[in-house]
Homo-oligomer: A and B are copies of this chain.
């Protein structure tokens, strides 16, 4: 019996909260401890329509189910009046491979688990008294990242820049509900120079944040890059920061900001870096001094998908949601 859950049902089950932080932290820990099997991402590009589908999957030792996720991005869609992102997750029984559930989340669960990863990065890497956030990009993920940050830091002021001023205005209108001071900036430099925590959330193909703008004590979470050609941070930031933490080193080497630092020959591809899960397990591997500049490079991992799909299914069963197909 397979349970099909639609996006409205899924939204009733999981959201940005502290419980989800714990769940995603456990997923990162399992990855760092070598307790997860996570194959390389499958990516199918449909260049003609400026689209792509990514498939991620991970099994976490000892769990009774695992997820396979399909996430698509079709970047002409907004012109057609439909969202560019799309997706679903499939939950399978770990002992038999039997299909337990199909989660027709349209990308919602990916959005949530990505924002939660940003909150975890800030929780372990930013200075605990940080109150000023800089947001680059003004899409859904930029909104969720700010909301998620409020779970771990007392955010008082937010500076935001995005290419499209209409989207910035929409962002500020939407985020008013958080009771934070929000201010649009004319340039990314203006955002960066005023902030303590920076979150980048764009699909940019050339870097937006320059190393020379950074100041001591800053934390940056780079969320946007999840493909070879995407790049938000000056490679010198990766080279010169005090602590660089990838979500998954084998992924950031080819898909993240680290990829561009390697391509630009400012860091070696053989460098070792602790992953976010290592820092969760041992906070001494994160920020050591108040003045450290820390960077977290997020490409999105299959263990996060497995963790959030399992939790969604668990709650959906409890609430008796979904339709059953035999």
Chain B residues near A55: list those with CB within 8 A: 42, 55, 57, 68
Cα distance A187–B40 when bound, in Å? 41
A44 lies within 8 A of chain B by Cβ: yes
A194 at interface (Cβ–Cβ under 8 A)? no
A37 & B44 in contact (Cβ 8 Å cutoff): yes
Contact across chains for B97 and A74 when beta carbons are under 8 A apart: yes
The answer to the question of A33 belonging to the interface, with a C-beta cut-off of 8 Å to chain B, is no
Question: How many copies, total?
Answer: 2
Residue contact B82 to A59, C-beta cutoff 8 Å: no
Other-chain contact of A45, B37, B49, B72 (Cβ < 8 Å)? B37
Question: Is residue A86 within 8 Å, beta carbon to beta carbon, of the partner chain?
Answer: yes
Render A88-122 as a binary contact track against B, CB cut-off 8 A, 1 for contact. Answer: 10101011111100101000000000000000000
Report the Cα distance A76→B97, complex, angstroms: 10
Closest B residue, CB atoms, query A45: B37
Q: A314 vs B4: C-alpha distance in the bound complex, in angstroms?
A: 22
- Say yes or no: is A77 at the interface (Cβ < 8 Å to chain B): yes
**Known contacts A39-B44, A41-B42, A86-B92; 15 further A-B pairs (Cβ under 8 A):** A4-B4, A4-B102, A6-B326, A38-B44, A40-B42, A46-B59, A46-B94, A49-B95, A51-B95, A53-B66, A55-B68, A74-B95, A74-B96, A86-B96, A88-B99
- Interchain residue pairs with CB less than 8 A apart (11): A37-B47, A42-B42, A44-B66, A44-B68, A51-B95, A51-B96, A53-B68, A77-B97, A86-B96, A99-B104, A323-B325
